[in-house]
Structures are given as structure tokens and as C-alpha cells.
């Protein structure tokens, strides 16, 4: 039994225990507890930590082994020891006092749990391994890699090729570390509507979605590459902020320095010896 049913059962047991009499005592347990309540010390401010501390070493595949199960950690920790807090339902990985990875605790031996974000730096260098990565399959199963990500990936590969298109998708996934996932999904939808797969444009649109900026004064941008003729892109029903709209105003013109004194250096100056020789020769 779990959830509210278990709590109700425990509450009923407490009530029955309060009414119970210990052998040889005239009063009940509940009565004695109320008499002693004022003498009890307050509960500690810090919660009791019921986890186990471990220090496994991160293997070359960016995983740690804990109780014959495997968990991924960020790739930058490969070859180092990390501190792990193993709890009943989850596992935390620390870098100092900072939590760098959180996993649900695995109960079956030799199973693994990977997080796609932990491998992005490696996959950015080797984008060909992205499609077959086990972390990608797990992200799809858990819903972290959505249909919008799939559509953006397909559009990027169609425009830039498999390798560069995958790199563009990985750069978007790296933005999840600084920007909320919902804002990035919204920005990818906007970029797909206007036919753009620019990572910079995805970041701009995500920040605009976070700020709730209206698009009334924004420029329409069908793609990051402007047409040679400079013609305005067709209206496709979506507006995004152009990089040109965010440029700073030009610096005020500054007067050029006076170079007349330096012009004298360009004309040769006769030395005193040459003037003396010219005088004797006359």
C-alpha cells in the first residue's frame, strides 16, 4: 500500500497506540505523552540525511558504477572521482557542493540511465555518433527530446547536410543549460515556421519568449542569409527580431589629428657639413 492509503493507515495506528495502556501503568500512552510534550527538545533545523556517500570514478564512457548499475555524469569529469549521494529513490552526483547530475535509482543490476546533456560536448566533436547514441534513445523515451527537436533536426540536415545539421541541433541542445526548455521549444517552432535553422535566431526567439516581448516592432526575417538583391522576405505569418535591430548606434565621428608637423619629416634637411662644403666650392 502506498500514497494516501498508507498515510491513513499509519494515522489509525497512531490513534490506537495513544489509547493503549502499558502493563502496570494507570494512564495511557497518549496521556503520558501530553504530560511530557513540554519537556521535549525542538526538532533539528536540518533534515536527516538518509543517503549513503560514495566516491566512484568516472569511466571513459562518462558513467559511474554504483551498486552494479551505471549512471552518466558530465563528460568533463571523465577519469576523476565524484561524490555520490545514494538515496532510496534517487542518486545525486556532486562537484563540491553543487549537484551536477540527478538520476532515478536503478534496482536491476547492469542497467544504465544516461542523460543526453552529459554527452553534448563529445557529440559536438563527433556528430556522426549522435543518431545512434543511447542517451538520445533514452531522451526520446522520457520525452526530453520532443517532436519539435526532431523537426528542427530534419530541417537542419536538409539545409546544411547530416554532419553540420546535427551540429546545429547540438548547439540548440546546449542552449538548454541557460534557457528554459519551454522557451526553446517555442523558439524552434517559430524558426521552423519561417524556414530558419539558425542557432543564434533560436536563442533570440527564446529570450524574447521569456521576456514576453511583442513582435510588432520586430523585423521579419525568413532566414539568416539575406538575399543578394536585398528584397524583403515574403510574409509567412511569423516575426522575429533581426540582429540588425539590436545593433548599437554608430560611434560619433572624430576629427583627424593635425599632420602638418609630421610632413616636415618627409622633406630632406641639409646638414651643416654639406652647407660648408658648398660654400668652399663657390
Predicted local confidence at residue 25, as pLDDT: 86
φ and ψ of 109, to 5 deg: -65, 145
Domain membership flag for residue 255: no
Q: Provide the terminal-to-terminal Cα distance of the chain, rounded to the nearest Å.
A: 126
Q: H-helix or E-strand containing 158?
A: helix 147-160
16-32: average pLDDT: 90
Task: Give residue 83's domain range.
Answer: 52-113
Predicted local confidence at residue 140, as pLDDT: 95
Share of the chain above pLDDT 90, in %: 60
CATH of the domain at 68: 2.40.50
Task: Kindly state the cell numbers that stand for 148.
Answer: 519539435
Domain membership flag for residue 73: yes
Same-domain pairing of 130 and 103? no
The whole-angstrom separation of Cα 79 and Cα 244 is 45
The whole-angstrom separation of Cα 55 and Cα 81 is 6
Domain membership flag for residue 28: no
The whole-angstrom separation of Cα 119 and Cα 116 is 6
Domain membership flag for residue 273: no
If you average pLDDT over each of 56-65, 191-200, 231-240, which comes out highest? 56-65
Same-domain pairing of 73 and 134? no
78-84: average pLDDT: 96
- Residue whose grid cell is 563529445: 122
- HSE-up of residue 9 (Cα within 13 Å, Cβ side): 6
pLDDT tens by residue, 95-137: 999 999 999 999 999 999 999 999 999 999 999 999 999 999 9
Same-domain pairing of 71 and 98? yes
pLDDT tens by residue, 141-169: 999 999 999 999 999 999 999 999 999 99
The whole-angstrom separation of Cα 161 and Cα 193 is 20
Same-domain pairing of 93 and 126? no
Give the pTM: 0.62
Predicted local confidence at residue 227, as pLDDT: 41
Q: Which among 171, 179, 232, 229 has a CA at the least distance from the CA of 197?
A: 171
Amino acid at each position: 500500500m502506498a500514497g494516501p492509503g498508507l498515510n491513513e493507515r499509519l494515522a489509525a495506528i497512531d490513534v490506537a497506540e495513544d489509547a493503549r495502556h502499558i502493563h502496570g501503568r494507570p494512564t495511557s500512552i497518549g496521556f503520558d505523552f501530553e504530560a511530557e510534550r513540554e519537556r521535549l527538545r525542538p526538532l533539528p533545523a536540518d533534515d536527516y540525511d538518509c543517503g549513503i556517500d560514495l566516491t566512484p570514478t568516472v569511466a571513459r564512457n562518462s558513467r559511474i558504477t554504483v551498486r552494479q548499475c551505471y549512471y552518466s555524469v558530465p563528460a568533463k569529469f571523465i577519469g576523476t572521482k565524484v561524490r555520490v549521494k545514494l538515496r532510496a529513490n534517487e542518486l545525486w552526483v556532486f562537484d563540491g557542493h553543487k549537484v551536477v547530475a540527478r538520476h532515478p535509482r536503478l534496482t536491476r543490476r547492469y542497467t544504465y540511465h544516461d542523460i543526453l546533456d552529459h554527452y553534448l560536448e563529445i557529440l559536438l566533436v563527433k556528430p556522426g555518433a549522435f543518431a545512434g547514441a543511447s542517451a538520445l534513445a533514452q531522451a526520446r523515451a522520457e520525452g526530453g527530446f520532443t517532436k519539435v527537436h526532431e523537426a528542427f533536426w530534419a530541417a537542419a540536415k536538409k539545409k546544411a547536410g547530416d554532419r553540420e545539421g546535427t551540429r546545429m541541433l547540438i548547439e540548440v541542445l546546449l542552449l538548454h543549460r541557460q534557457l528554459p526548455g519551454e522557451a526553446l521549444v517555442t523558439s524552434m517552432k517559430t524558426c521552423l515556421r519561417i524556414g530558419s535553422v539558425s542557432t543564434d535566431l533560436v536563442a533570440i526567439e527564446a529570450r524574447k519568449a521569456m521576456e514576453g516581448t511583442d513582435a510588432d516592432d520586430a523585423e521579419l526575417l525568413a532566414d539568416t542569409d539575406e538575399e543578394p538583391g536585398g528584397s524583403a522576405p515574403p510574409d509567412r505569418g511569423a516575426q522575429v527580431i533581426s540582429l540588425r535591430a539590436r545593433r548599437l548606434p554608430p560611434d560619433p565621428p572624430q576629427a583627424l589629428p593635425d599632420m602638418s608637423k609630421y610632413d616636415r619629416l618627409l622633406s630632406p634637411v641639409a646638414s651643416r657639413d654639406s652647407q660648408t662644403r658648398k660654400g668652399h666650392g663657390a
